[in-house]
């Protein structure tokens, strides 16, 4: 029985030659000097990886600060640059130094590749091949990221503490301050230019990676990036809801809301005795009870600033609402904060206060 003729697999580099044949002429001329296939790495992935690394460092810093929560307050503030440098060194030591991706790069399926070695390579298959960073690149990366950021932070704090910018008698300090500002300005301009180039080419998201030729490529070509906006939607909804509450809560009157909801209380009769003995503001039993005037007392207890003849509404609340006692601090602070403070029990404006059982005279709470 004759065996059927099976098709032979194409040569190893055949698809590379086919890719080059299908390119336009102008792109073929641009790629004639190299045998690499240009690959496109998602710019969003690279920015997300950098942001995740920053969040990871912030989480580690928060946990480390909690360890020293019982130490002298403010002690870690003066050593904050050293703390940040230590955490950045830990992340570098257990990721880049041992040829592993950082936490953010691992979540985005990215790794560092030595782009200088790829420029001299021959045949490639996926465009993602290539060795990792060399030892020299790793060391320079640590010096630039960890040491550079720490040195710059300390230099800025030292110059600001010494007031180099305000020193007129010391021209050397003034020149050093101007030099620092110019270096910072040049770095920001160079970073902005590198950002524009990165958005166009998708290579080297910062100046350190461009100088060291450390490019981010996919660690696994078959792994897809799972995009889910569920968490983002929940976060946006919660932020908008919290902002709306922060806008509306100061406009609401708590006493009016309690007055509206009081008829719907289930155990109003059983808790009336407890409510009479507790402060309606803090819900605690007052150590030195005071009474709000004029809503809770007769005509004789109304101060001189109030008319000696109480209005009909005050008399009505006197008979139908039990006399309530307040804490001195609660009543005084509420009246000082709002000149038109109303009694939470009846809604009458509070114009004076009196110690319970008549042990003290009337007091104007706004004084």
DSSP-H helix ranges across the chain: 14-22, 25-30, 43-67, 80-93, 103-107, 115-119, 135-142, 148-162, 171-201, 207-212, 230-248, 254-261, 272-277, 312-320, 328-337
Q: Is residue 295 domain-shared with residue 206, that is, in the same domain?
A: no
Q: Is residue 293 domain-shared with residue 197, that is, in the same domain?
A: no
Q: Is residue 285 domain-shared with residue 209, that is, in the same domain?
A: no
Q: Which of 333, 326, 332 is closest to 289 using CA atoms?
A: 326
Coil/strand/helix, residue 365: coil
Q: Is residue 172 domain-shared with residue 54, that is, in the same domain?
A: yes
Which range of 113-117, 269-273, 358-362 scores highest in mean pLDDT? It is 113-117
Using pLDDT thresholds of 50, 70 and 90, give the confidence band for residue 223: low
Domain that residue 299 falls in: 276-303+320-357
The last residue of one of the domains, among 194, 218, 242, is 218
Q: Is residue 283 domain-shared with residue 199, that is, in the same domain?
A: no
Residue 75 φ then ψ, to 5°: -70, -40
Long-range CB contacts for residues 99-104, cutoff 8 Å, separation at least 24? 99/132, 99/133, 101/219, 102/49, 102/53, 103/52, 103/53, 103/56, 104/48, 104/49, 104/50, 104/51, 104/52, 104/53, 104/55, 104/56
What average pLDDT does the segment 82-104 reach? 92
pLDDT tens for 184-221 read 999 999 999 999 999 999 899 999 999 999 999 888 77
Q: Give the pLDDT of residue 312.
A: 40
Residue 260 in any domain: the answer is no
> In which residue are the tokens 């409510």 written?
275
Assigned token pair, 243: 């902002």
Is residue 248 a contact partner of residue 240, using CB atoms and an 8 Å limit? no
Using pLDDT thresholds of 50, 70 and 90, give the confidence band for residue 304: very low
Could you tell me the CA-to-CA distances from 64 to 61, 69, 91, 107, 151 in Å, in that order?
A: 5, 9, 14, 23, 22
Q: How many domains does the chain have?
A: 2
Percentage of residues of the chain with pLDDT beyond 70:
65
Q: Is residue 76 domain-shared with residue 161, that is, in the same domain?
A: yes
Residue 29 in any domain: the answer is no
Residue 63 in any domain: the answer is yes
Q: Is residue 48 domain-shared with residue 191, that is, in the same domain?
A: yes
**Distance (Å, whole) CA 105 – CA 218:** 9
Question: Between residues 352 and 26, which one has the greater pLDDT?
Answer: 352
The last residue of one of the domains, among 183, 218, 253, is 218
Q: Give the pLDDT of residue 206.
A: 93
Which range of 34-38, 279-283, 360-364 scores highest in mean pLDDT? It is 279-283
Average pLDDT, the chain: 75
Q: Is residue 214 domain-shared with residue 280, that is, in the same domain?
A: no
- CATH number for the domain spanning 349: value is 3.30.40.10
The last residue of one of the domains, among 175, 190, 218, is 218
Q: Is residue 182 domain-shared with residue 299, that is, in the same domain?
A: no
Question: Between residues 337 and 304, which one has the greater pLDDT?
Answer: 337
Q: Is residue 195 domain-shared with residue 284, that is, in the same domain?
A: no
Residue 76 in any domain: the answer is yes
Is residue 207 a contact partner of residue 190, using CB atoms and an 8 Å limit? yes
Using pLDDT thresholds of 50, 70 and 90, give the confidence band for residue 134: very high
Is residue 280 a contact partner of residue 344, using CB atoms and an 8 Å limit? yes
Question: Between residues 32 and 192, which one has the greater pLDDT?
Answer: 192
Q: Is residue 76 domain-shared with residue 199, that is, in the same domain?
A: yes
**pLDDT over 50 (residue 74):** yes
Q: Is residue 73 domain-shared with residue 193, that is, in the same domain?
A: yes
**pLDDT over 80 (residue 287):** no
Residue 15 in any domain: the answer is no
Q: Write down the pTM of the prediction.
A: 0.55
**pLDDT over 70 (residue 89):** yes
**pLDDT over 60 (residue 353):** yes
Q: Give the pLDDT of residue 289.
A: 78
What average pLDDT does the segment 67-86 reach? 81
Question: Between residues 251 and 91, which one has the greater pLDDT?
Answer: 91
Residue 184 in any domain: the answer is yes
């Amino acid at each position: 029985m004759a065996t059927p003729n099976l098709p032979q697999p194409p040569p190893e580099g055949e698809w590379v030659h086919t890719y080059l044949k299908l390119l336009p002429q102008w792109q073929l001329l641009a790629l004639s000097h190299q045998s690499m296939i240009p690959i496109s790495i998602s710019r969003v992935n690279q920015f997300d990886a950098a942001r995740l690394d920053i969040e990871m460092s912030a989480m580690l810093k928060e946990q480390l600060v909690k360890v020293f929560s019982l130490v002298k307050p403010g002690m870690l503030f003066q050593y904050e640059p050293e703390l940040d440098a230590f955490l950045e060194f830990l992340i570098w030591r257990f990721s880049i130094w041992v040829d592993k991706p950082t936490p953010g790069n691992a979540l985005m399926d990215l790794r560092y590749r030595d782009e200088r070695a790829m420029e001299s390579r021959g045949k490639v298959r996926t465009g993602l091949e290539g060795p990792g960073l060399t030892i020299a690149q790793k060391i320079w990366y640590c010096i630039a990221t960890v040491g550079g950021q720490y040195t710059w932070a300390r230099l800025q704090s030292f110059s600001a503490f010494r007031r180099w910018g305000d020193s007129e008698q010391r021209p050397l300090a003034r020149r050093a301050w101007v030099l620092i500002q110019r270096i910072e300005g040049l770095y920001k301009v160079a970073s902005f230019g590198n950002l524009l180039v990165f958005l166009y080419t998708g290579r080297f998201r910062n100046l350190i990676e461009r100088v060291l030729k450390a490019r981010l490529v996919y660690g696994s070509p078959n792994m897809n990036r799972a995009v889910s906006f569920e968490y983002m939607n929940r976060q946006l909804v919660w932020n908008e809801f919290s902002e709306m509450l922060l806008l509306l809560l100061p406009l609401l009157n708590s006493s009016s809301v309690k007055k509206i909801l009081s008829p719907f209380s289930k155990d109003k009769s059983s808790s009336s005795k407890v409510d009479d003995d507790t402060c309606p503001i803090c819900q605690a039993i007052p150590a030195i009870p005071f009474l709000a005037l004029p809503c809770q007392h007769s005509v004789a207890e109304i101060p001189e600033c109030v008319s000696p003849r109480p209005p009909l509404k005050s008399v009505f609340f006197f008979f139908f609402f039990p006399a309530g006692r307040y804490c001195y601090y609660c009543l005084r602070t509420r009246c000082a904060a709002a000149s038109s403070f109303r009694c939470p029990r009846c809604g009458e404006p509070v114009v004076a206060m009196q110690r319970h059982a008549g042990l003290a005279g009337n007091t104007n709470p706004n004084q």
